[in-house]
Structure 1
Amino acid sequence: MLTRPDTVFTELGTKTIEHGLADPLLSEFYEAVMSARPEEVQQKLKPFLPHLSLCSDKMSSDAPPPIFYVGGKCGQRELFGEDWATPTGTGPALRTPDPQLELASAEGYRHALSGTPYYGYARTLVDVNGGKFEVAFERLIIAMRPSLKSDYRFCAYLGIIQDLHRKF
């Protein structure tokens, strides 16, 4: 019997996108942002906002940065649900509901915050509301500044779910 690890996070690199091997929406987003002059970034970002999640540039050593925006068509909203994506109150920063996923995904954010966009593939088990799901997805993370004079950055995350099914 063939065995495989439960979690795989693989960096594919942006050359993969440039060679036309990524999801078309992800490729379009990458091209739009990377070809934009610094003063155009906000304008180029707008058409993609429904598909993005945005997070801070502050991260701990073992978790991705906290999320402050989840687009209406974002893969994370699809995976974790509407209740997760639109919390009520002023509780702690938005995090994915699976601590193991948080640990496994952090390196991609660290990579993007170091100055190079991160593009990769992941397949993992995710715990969502007590159920286990296997999900496979492409993800692109780009760190950017909201304006030329801004002294802080944020990460734009575009994840494309390729496969999702309940395990048990």
Structure 2
Amino acid sequence: MLNRPQTVFTELGTEAIENGLADPLLAGFYEAVMTSADGSFRQTMQPFLPHLSLCSDKVTDFAPPPIFYVGKESGQRQLFGDDWATSTGSNSALRTPDADLERASAEGYRSALSGRPYYGYARTPISVDGQEYEIAFERLIIAVRPHIRANYRICAYLGVIQDLQPKS
């Protein structure tokens, strides 16, 4: 029997997208952002907003940036539910409900905020509402300016769940 690590976060690089190895929705988002002539956030992102989660640019060593938008068809909403996606309080940032996932995913956001889009694959155990699962997903994180003159960026996250199984 193979002994494999429980959590794997692997950067595949955007070359994998360019070579046709990514999920078609994810590849379409990447192409739209990369070929956007004027950096127009609204026009480029509009068709993809239902599938995206948007975050601030405040990443730490232990957590990805706080989430401020979760699309109705996003992988995060599929996984954690509508109640989670709409549960932000006035003084709290929206975070995924699994602290281990938060720590493991932070590097991808740091990479995107350093100036290069992050495309990778993850397989990890995850806890949702007290139930343990094993999930596998692709994710693309791109730092974008919300408008051409903005002096800050936000992270656009598109995650596609490839497999989700209850842990036995």
Q: TM-score, normalised by structure 2?
A: 0.97
1:32 Cα deviation from its structure 2 partner: 0.4
**What runs of 5+ residues in structure 2 fail to find an aligned partner?**
none
1:9 — aligned with what? 9
Q: Distance in 2 between matches of 1:9 and 1:38?
A: 32
For the residue of structure 1 that corresponds to 2:124, the secondary structure is strand
Is the Cα–Cα contact under 8 Å of residues 54 and 69 in structure 1 kept in the other structure? yes
Is the Cα–Cα contact under 8 Å of residues 146 and 153 in structure 1 kept in the other structure? yes
1:59 Cα deviation from its structure 2 partner: 1.5
For the residue of structure 2 that corresponds to 1:38, the secondary structure is coil
**What runs of 5+ residues in structure 1 fail to find an aligned partner?**
none
Query: How do 1:55-94 and structure 2 match up within 5 A?
Result: 55-87=55-87, 89-94=89-94
Q: TM-score, normalised by structure 1?
A: 0.97
Is the Cα–Cα contact under 8 Å of residues 38 and 147 in structure 1 kept in the other structure? no
1:135-162 Cα deviation digits (max 9, x unpaired): 0000000000011110111000000000
Percent identity reads: 67
CA RMSD of aligned residues (A): 1.0
Count of residue pairs brought into register by the alignment: 168
For the residue of structure 2 that corresponds to 1:26, the secondary structure is helix
Amino acid at match of 2:125: L
Label 1:34 to 1:88 Cα distance change in 2 as closer, same or farther (>3 A).
Answer: closer
1:105 — aligned with what? 105
1:108-166 Cα deviation digits (max 9, x unpaired): 00000000000000000001111101000000000000111101110000000000011
> Stretches of 4+ moved more than 3 A in 1?
none
Query: How do 1:13-24 and structure 2 match up within 5 A?
Result: 13-24=13-24
For the residue of structure 1 that corresponds to 2:40, the secondary structure is helix
2:133 — aligned with what? 133
1:12-53 Cα deviation digits (max 9, x unpaired): 000000000000000000000100023433201000000000
Q: Distance in 1 between matches of 2:34 and 2:93?
A: 28
1:70-129 Cα deviation digits (max 9, x unpaired): 000000001111111111542410000000000000000000000000000000000111
Is the Cα–Cα contact under 8 Å of residues 143 and 153 in structure 1 kept in the other structure? yes
Amino acid at match of 1:24: P
Please state if 1:41 is matched with 2:41. Answer: yes
Is the Cα–Cα contact under 8 Å of residues 61 and 103 in structure 2 kept in the other structure? no
Larger mean CA deviation between 36-45 and 118-127 belongs to 36-45
